[in-house]
Amino acid sequence: MTEKLTSDHRNVAIGDLEITIRPITPEDKHLEASFVKKLSMQTKYERFFEGIKELSPSMLNVLSNIDYVDTMAYIATINTAEGEKEIGMCRYSADKVPGESEMAITVADDYPYEDVATVLLHSLFEHAKANNIKRLFSIELSSNNRIRKLAERLGMSAKVHPEDATLIVYSLLLK
């Protein structure tokens, strides 16, 4: 993997893939809508805990509008003959506890999950640290093996959710 940093954009090569990691913008609603629509039902369920087909206009607004402090989101895109295509996203949103934020990660089914997720999350981790976030956590289905492997690789702790044994809370202290 090779990486080149240009402002708040990162250009990364993963195998033959040339990926750009960048903050999402309100103009990316069409990319985000297409990205989610093309995810498998399993991946959608793992991300949203329900079997949605596509994002509602209000969800698209929430996901594509960030304030760069309390909410931040990065997307991974590639250039195709049809134009820019989103292949992954990660985000955090401030929690009720100061210095803590909940995060989420999703990678398109046809792309290397751990590689794309790791690059996205490292951008998110750096941004979170710069904004005084001390802990990121993610609530995931206990059956989600991709996130379990990724969390282990990233050194995240894992605990069963105190209110629902089918959920795992993954946590990372940022240093």
pLDDT at 51: 77
Confirm whether pTM is higher than 0.85. yes
Axis-axis angle for helices 57-64, 29-38 (nearest 10):
110
Q: Which tops the pLDDT comparison, 5 or 51?
A: 51
Q: Name the percent of the chain lying above pLDDT 90.
A: 81
62 class by beta-carbon count within 10 Å (0-12 exposed, 13-18 middle, 19+ buried): middle
Full set of structural domains in the chain with CATH: 2-136 (3.40.630.30)
| pLDDT one-digit tens code per residue, 81-94 | 999 999 999 999 98
Q: Which residues, including other chains, have CB under 8 Å from residue 115's CB and lie 6 or more apart?
A: 1, 14, 15
Q: What is the pLDDT of residues 56-108, one digit of tens each?
A: 899 999 999 999 999 999 999 999 999 999 999 999 998 888 999 999 999 99
